Amino acid sequence: MKKFNRAITYGTFDLFHIGHLRLLKRISALANELYVAVSSDEFNSIKGKTCVIPFEERKEIIAALNCVTQVIKEDNWEQKISDIQKYHCDLFVMGDDWEGKFDFLKPYCEVIYLPRTQGISTTAIKKSMKQ
């Protein structure tokens, strides 16, 4: 597979788990640099999500990973095209549960959907915490 210069991905990254780490490592292996956009608390509220971990702490966790070059803030759905252009990204990657949803970005960069780690998700962790 082609090695890209700069990849970008987006996510909430609440309750950071092995699935998050494995996905970010796989994305990092595809490019020289990895930019990660972490959803702000305000944006999560608009999406109807409530985070256990506040934005600044989620951002700090992601920034501490060796495979991540830079962390940016995601404030809205519409910023993806401007982020790709601003940060000169030639690869956009999301989990395969988003398959096809970001194909509109193909005129700006390569778009790839990677399989999620089986058996783990933030939603499942939150559900088990409530029990």
Q: Measuring CA to CA, which residue among 6, 36, 32, 12 is closest to residue 24? A: 36
Any idea which residues carry the catalytic annotation? 47, 49
- CA 11 vs CA 40, 50, 87, 130: distances in Å: 10, 13, 17, 23
What value, to the nearest 5°, has the Cα angle with vertex 40 and ends 121 and 45?
Answer: 75
Overall size of the chain counted in residues: 131
Amino acid at 48: G
Using DSSP's 3-state secondary structure scheme, residue 14 falls into coil
Amino acid at 39: S
What value, to the nearest 5°, has the Cα angle with vertex 59 and ends 10 and 64?
Answer: 105
